[in-house]
Amino acid sequence: MDEATKRLEEFERIWKKPVIRIGSITVLLGGLFAFLPSLYLWLRYGVFPPLSMALKAWGMIAAAFGAFYIVEPISYYAILGLSGTYMSFLSGNISNLRLPCASMAQEVTEVKAGTPEAEIVATLGIAGSIITNLIGVTLAALLGYALIRLFPPAIADAFKVYTVPAIFGAVFGQFSLRYPKVAVFGLGIPLLLLGVLKGIPVWLVIPASVFGSIGIARIFYNLERQRR
């Protein structure tokens, strides 16, 4: 057994196994605990949607988001990795917080993508973003009404409307710098599907963009290897 395989097997034992144990338990508990306030309304005030209404609401929301339950974890996995997936899905705000913070942490530490070190660095970047986010939402919950008046309406509107596209554009810029050729397809595929062809459901567009871009990257990668 060579040194590299030995190192990976060691990493498997000291990292992956405990990550799976911590991750699967905390994610499941988080999901279950989220029902507590609904139970409280039932036990304290005797109010709970009757079965027919509960099922109707469930059916409607599953029709809207059900496909994403499966598509998103698969599509984001190559970026978030093992611990990143458990953390990001429990804490949410994946595209506007977790993915940008994980990739910035890797950029700043100049770690090689796809290595054990990269996974540790991404985990810490996401952990840092969770702390900032928890402080933010807790402040909002406790002092939101008082603090919101501190923002002039024009600035509040700018944050509301433009933060998301600006950060999405910036992350795209960051990776275009590294893989400019793939970037053309990364934006081209969804633009073609949503802007030109239209009518294609969004839950199909996400995997088409992700796995389409991965396929294109593989072709470029093979071409480059042949050239050497």
| Position among 76, 197, 200, 228 found at the interface with other proteins (CB under 8 A) | 76
Kindly state the helix (H) or strand (E) to which residue 31 belongs, with its residue range: helix 17-33
Q: Are 128 and 155 in contact (CB under 8 A)?
A: no
Minimal distance in Å, beta carbon 97 to other proteins?
A: 5
Minimal distance in Å, beta carbon 44 to other proteins?
A: 7
- Rule CB under 8 A: is residue 203 a binding residue for other proteins? no
Calpha distance 104→171 (Å, rounded): 9
Calpha distance 150→153 (Å, rounded): 9
> Number of residues in contact with other proteins, rule: CB under 8 A?
166
- Residue whose CB is less far from other proteins, 41 or 227: 41
Calpha distance 83→23 (Å, rounded): 7
* Stretch 121-180 residues interacting with other proteins (CB under 8 A): 121-142, 144-145, 147-148, 151, 154, 156, 158-179
* Stretch 31-70 residues interacting with other proteins (CB under 8 A): 31-38, 40-42, 44-45, 47-49, 53-54, 56-58, 60-62, 64-66, 68-70
DSSP 95: I
Calpha distance 189→17 (Å, rounded): 37
Minimal distance in Å, beta carbon 1 to other proteins?
A: 13
Q: Are 85 and 76 in contact (CB under 8 A)?
A: yes
- What mask, x for binding other proteins by CB under 8 A, covers residues 177 to 196? xxx--xx-xxxxxxx--xx-
